[in-house]
Structure 1
Amino acid sequence: MRPQSVMLTFLGDHVYGRGVCVSSGSFIEAFAKVGISEEATRSTLTRMVRRGLLRRRRSGRRMYFGLTPTSAEVLKDGERRIWHSGVVNDADEDRWTLIGFSLPESWQRQRHELRSRLVWAGFGPLQNGLWMAPGEVDVAHVIEDLGANVKVFSAEPRCPTDMQALVRDAYDLADLGERYRAFLRRWDRADPAPDAPDDLARSLTLLTEWLQIIRTDPRLPLRHLPHDWPAGKAQQVCHALHERFGPEAARIAGRLLDVVPDETWAER
Structure 2
Amino acid sequence: MSVQEVEESGQSAAPQEFVLNFLGLYVFGRGEREERKGAPPVATQVFLSVLGRLGISESATRAALNRMVHRSLLARHKQGRTTAFHLTEEARALLRRGRDRMFSPAPFDHSEGIWTVLSCPVPESLRNVRYHIQGRLSWAGFGVIHPNVWVAPGRVDVEEVLRDLPTQDATQDALELVQAFHGTPATPSRPEQLVQKAWDLEALRAGHLAFLGRWEDTEPPLTDALPQLLLLHDDWGRLLRADPGLPAAYLDDDWPSTRSTHTFQRLQALLASHADQQLSALLDPPSDPSAGQATTANRRSDSQAS
Same fold per superposition (TM over 0.5): yes
> How far, CA to CA, are the matches of 1:175 and 1:217 in structure 2?
9
Task: Please report how far the alpha carbon of residue 175 of structure 1 lies from its aligned counterpart in structure 2 after TM superposition.
Answer: 0.9
Confirm or deny: 8 A CA contact 2:229 2:272 kept in the other structure: yes
Does the alignment pair 1:160 with 2:160? no
More helix by share: 2
Deviation by residue 1:241-268 (Cα, 9 ceiling, x = unmatched)? 1211222222222222259xxxxxxxxx
- The answer to whether the 8 A contact 1:180-1:230 is kept is yes
> Which of 24, 29, 37 is 2:57 aligned to?
37
Tell me, yes or no, if structure 1 residue 228 matches structure 2 residue 254: yes
Shift of 1:38: 1.1
Q: Structure 1 residue 31: deviation in Å? A: 0.4
Deviation sequence 1:4-23 (CA, Å, 0-9, x none): 11111111123333322110
Distance in 1 between residues matched to 2:187 and 2:114, nearest whole Å: 14
Please say if residues 110 and 154 of structure 2, whose CA atoms lie closer than 8 Å, have aligned partners that are also in contact.
no
Q: Which residue of 2 aligns with 1:244?
A: 270
Alpha carbons 1:96, 1:134 under 8 Å: kept: yes
Q: Structure 1 residues 123, 29: closer, same or farther in 2, change over 3 A? A: same
Q: 1:109/1:29 Cα in 2 relative to 1: closer, same or farther (>3 Å)? A: same
Task: Give distance in 2, aligned partners of 1:131 and 1:79.
Answer: 24
Structure 1 residue 190 displacement after superposition: 4.5
User: Identical aligned pairs, as a percentage?
Assistant: 35
1:53 aligns with 2:73: yes
Q: Counterpart in 2 of 1:8?
A: 20
Aligned-pair CA distance for 1:90: 5.0
Given the superposition, is the C-alpha separation of residues 170 and 190 from structure 1 closer, same or farther in structure 2, using an over 3 Å criterion?
closer
Offset from partner CA, 1:186-233 (integer Å, 9 cap, x none): 1111545x7x97222211111111111112322222222222111111
Name the amino acid aligned to 2:131: H
Distance 1:97 1:82 in 2: 21
Judged with a 3 Å threshold, the aligned counterparts in structure 2 of structure 1 residues 32 and 44 are, in CA distance, closer, same or farther, namely same
Please say if 1:130 is aligned against 2:142: no
Flag the 1:190–1:70 CA change in 2: closer, same or farther, 3 A: closer
1:33-182 equivalences under 5 Å are 33-84=53-104, 86-92=106-112, 94-140=113-159, 141-142=161-162, 145=171, 147-148=173-174, 149-182=177-210
Can you give the 5+ residue segments of structure 2 that lack an aligned partner in the other structure? 1-11, 29-34, 166-170, 286-306
Partner residue in 2 for 1:201: 227
Q: Deviations over 1:20-76 (max 9, x none)?
A: 211011001110000111111111111212222111222222111112221112222
The answer (yes or no) to whether the contact 1:87–1:231 under 8 Å persists in 2 is no
TM-score (norm 1): 0.86
Secondary structure of the equivalent of 2:134? helix
TM-score of the pair, normalised by structure 2 = 0.76
Alignment coverage as a number of residue pairs: 256
Q: Which has the higher contact order (CA 8 A, sep 6+)?
A: 1
Alpha-carbon contact 1:126-1:132 (below 8 Å) kept? yes
**CA deviation vs aligned residue, 1:136-160 (integer Å, no higher than 9, x gap):** 2232352852632222222211123
Q: Which runs of 5+ in 1 are unaligned?
A: 260-268
Q: 1:220 to 1:107 in 2, by over 3 A?
A: same
Q: Aligned partners of 1:85 and 1:156: how far apart in 2?
A: 25
**Higher share in strand:** 1
How far 1:106 sits from its partner (Å)? 4.1
Distance in structure 1 (CA, Å) of the matches to 2:110 and 2:115: 14
CA RMSD of aligned residues (A): 2.3
User: How far apart, CA to CA, are the structure 2 residues paired with 1:163 and 1:240?
Assistant: 33
Shift of 1:120: 1.2
